[in-house]
């Protein structure tokens, strides 16, 4: 991929992203207005009370006495500056809360995707190599079971077996608390904590990607260019990986983008199961505390994450398939 094409892919994706984000922002603004009471009511309630004069002062200070189009403009302008509002429950700006927890969620999503794509490719290729054979049927059956198992249940089972019974992995958490680990030791500690959540989140996607990969391998195996490769005298292993799997991989990578929202939803669940301090936990706590501002901030963040994942996927696809940019 040439540098100019990279820019082209990013521009095309961002052109799609702006209207999507605008719609999400309008929706969050609408929800904010529909909710009973406003920020000042929350503030006064959490602050232990106050009189009507104070409330009016505060409303003026926050611009809440303005007509709603002005409020909307104000709201959007704040969003552009990455200001997601202020949480009176936490007494901190929402953006700080989210920024703090974002790495945990992103790390979980990235490791689960790598795991799922890796195993999906290997299993899909070995299944699709001999369609209808015993290996194919075995792998497809296992895939179906993985697809049918709810990820929170998988997470609990993994904890029960590998953390409680066998004591190979920690029960939960992002890293060992108060351990003062630094550098490589800390990275390894985090990775060790990430194993079970990663597997629990990834298994569903393993089944999705392996079936897609298998279908691709079966289809590409009968393509004319594979016959050309055989005619040239290319070895069987190289034909399988460099020609068949290499082409069958393209729809799998594209699928990672389609699955982005499902992945994020799954991560939220898995974070609660493994008590990981990520966005999912923040959402859960905010629901319990009725912290609407944080929830709406999370909604916007989710939209941005899904768009970001799709942009990355577009770039990877463009790097893997020379025909994409020409299209």
Give the interface with another protein as residue ranges (CB under 8 A): 223-225, 227-234, 242-243, 246-247, 250, 320-323, 326
Nearer to another protein, 11 or 232 (CB): 232
Minimal distance, residue 321 CB to another protein, in Å: 6
Nearer to another protein, 123 or 318 (CB): 318
Minimal distance, residue 133 CB to another protein, in Å: 12
Residues 190 and 272: their CA atoms lie apart, in Å, by: 17
Nearer to another protein, 165 or 232 (CB): 232
Nearer to another protein, 99 or 225 (CB): 225
Nearer to another protein, 123 or 317 (CB): 317
Classified as helix, coil or strand, 167 is coil
Minimal distance, residue 121 CB to another protein, in Å: 15
Minimal distance, residue 162 CB to another protein, in Å: 39
CA dist list (Å): 163 to 154, 195, 267, 269: 13, 11, 19, 19
Residue 92: its H or E element: strand 92-93
Nearer to another protein, 215 or 250 (CB): 250
Residues in Cβ contact with 57 at an 8 Å cutoff, skipping those fewer than 6 apart = none
Q: CB of 276 within 8 A of CB of 270?
A: yes
Minimal distance, residue 165 CB to another protein, in Å: 46
Minimal distance, residue 134 CB to another protein, in Å: 17
CA dist list (Å): 66 to 63, 73, 77, 124, 296: 6, 11, 15, 59, 21
Nearer to another protein, 153 or 241 (CB): 241
Cβ atoms < 10 Å from Cβ of 55: 16
Cα 254 to chain center, whole Å?
Answer: 15
CB neighbour burial string for 273-291, b if at least 16 within 10 angstroms, e if fewer: bbebbbbbbbbebbeeeeb
């Amino acid at each position: 991929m040439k540098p100019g094409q990279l820019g082209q892919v990013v521009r095309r994706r961002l052109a799609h992203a702006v209207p999507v984000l605008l719609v999400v922002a309008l929706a969050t603004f609408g929800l904010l207005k529909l909710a009973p009471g406003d920020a000042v009511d929350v503030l006064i309630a959490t602050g232990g009370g106050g009189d009507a004069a104070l409330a009016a002062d505060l409303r003026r200070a926050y611009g809440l006495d303005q007509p709603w189009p002005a409020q909307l403009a104000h709201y959007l302008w704040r969003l552009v500056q990455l200001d997601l509002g202020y949480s009176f429950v936490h007494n901190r700006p929402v953006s700080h809360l989210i920024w703090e927890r974002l790495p945990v969620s992103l790390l979980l999503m990235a490791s689960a995707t790598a795991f799922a794509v890796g195993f999906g490719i290997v299993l899909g290729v070995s299944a699709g190599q001999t369609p209808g054979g015993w290996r194919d049927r075995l792998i497809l059956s296992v895939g179906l079971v993985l697809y049918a198992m709810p990820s929170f249940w998988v997470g609990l089972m993994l904890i029960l077996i590998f953390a409680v019974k066998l004591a190979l992995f920690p029960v939960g958490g992002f890293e060992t608390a108060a351990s003062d680990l630094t550098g490589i030791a800390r990275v390894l500690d985090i990775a060790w904590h990430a194993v079970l959540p990663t597997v629990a989140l990834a298994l569903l996607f393993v089944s999705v990607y392996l079936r897609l990969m298998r279908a691709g391998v079966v289809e590409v195996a009968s393509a004319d260019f594979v016959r050309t490769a055989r005619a040239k005298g290319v070895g069987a292993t190289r034909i399988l990986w460099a020609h068949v799997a290499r082409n069958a991989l393209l729809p799998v990578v594209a699928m990672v983008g389609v699955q982005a929202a499902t992945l994020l939803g799954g991560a939220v669940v898995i974070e609660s199961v493994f008590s990981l301090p990520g966005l999912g936990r923040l959402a859960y706590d905010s629901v319990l505390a009725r912290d609407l501002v944080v929830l709406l901030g999370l909604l916007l963040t989710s939209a941005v994450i899904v768009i970001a994942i799709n942009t990355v996927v577009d770039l990877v696809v463009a790097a893997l398939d020379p025909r994409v940019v020409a299209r």
